[in-house]
Amino acid sequence: MYALDLLDAIEKEDVELMISFSPELKKELDSIQHALEMYATSRAIQPRSYVKDKMKDLIVNLQKEAEMDPRNLPLINDYSNHTQWLNLVKDLIPSKAPDDTPFIKILQQTDKISQMLVLSSTNFEDEVHDDEYESFLILKGRCKCTVGKSVRFMGEGEFMAIPLHEHHTVEVLTEAVIAIVQRVAL
């Protein structure tokens, strides 16, 4: 039970005290722990390669987010820190939103990824994406997002990923909305 960590604190102390006085008991415990490890290893299920790749990508993205290097930006996701993003782009934000069209500043543009800073006081009309994943992170302001038949009210720090083939609109509810918009090609 000690080897499986199934004892309470007092019982653990008793076993550890006995082990400290008995080399034979220590040797037997080592043998039991080794047998348990061999059993676990023989029954282990290896994750599929795409799961390993996805986990590596997540770790790399977390490192990028910690650094927030404008030349090597992380992908936005449910766990993105909007305050870090706002600090990164604060000098790029105009003092006032344009009246008739959104202000858009490209932050990153590759064959696969497009990230942009968007400042808008106007609504975004219906659109649908069949060949890229769109998502956005609200940095300031509030909006109403309609995706298919679902409506979601969003504010600072909230993230949304738009499913493929879904019609979506965004209605600005405050004077303006500042967001990071990201598109990732299939």
User: Could you tell me the pLDDT band of residue 160, with boundaries at 50, 70 and 90?
Assistant: very high
Instruction: Work out the burial of residue 85: count CB atoms within 10 Å of its CB; fewer than 13 is exposed, 13-18 middle, 19 or more buried.
Output: buried
Q: Could you tell me what percent of the chain has a pLDDT over 90?
A: 83
Cα-to-chain-centroid distance, residue 16: 42
Phi, psi of 125 (to 5 degrees): -70, 170
pLDDT tens sequence across 117-147: 999 999 999 999 999 999 999 999 999 999 9
In this prediction, residues 107-116 reach a mean pLDDT of: 95
Task: Note the pLDDT of residue 96.
Answer: 86
Domain boundaries along the sequence of the chain: 9-43, 76-185
Closest CA to 152 of 171, 124, 139: 171
Task: Note the pLDDT of residue 175.
Answer: 94
Average pLDDT, the chain: 93
Amino acid 29 reads L
User: Could you tell me the pLDDT band of residue 173, with boundaries at 50, 70 and 90?
Assistant: very high
Task: Note the pLDDT of residue 55.
Answer: 87
CATH class given for the domain over 76-185: mainly beta
Whether the predicted pLDDT of 156 surpasses 90 = yes
Closest CA to 181 of 130, 100, 115: 115
Task: Note the pLDDT of residue 49.
Answer: 82
pTM, full prediction: 0.73
pLDDT tens sequence across 6-62: 999 999 999 999 999 999 999 999 999 999 999 999 998 888 888 888 888 888 988
Residue located via tokens 């738009």: 162
Closest CA to 179 of 119, 132, 127, 125: 119
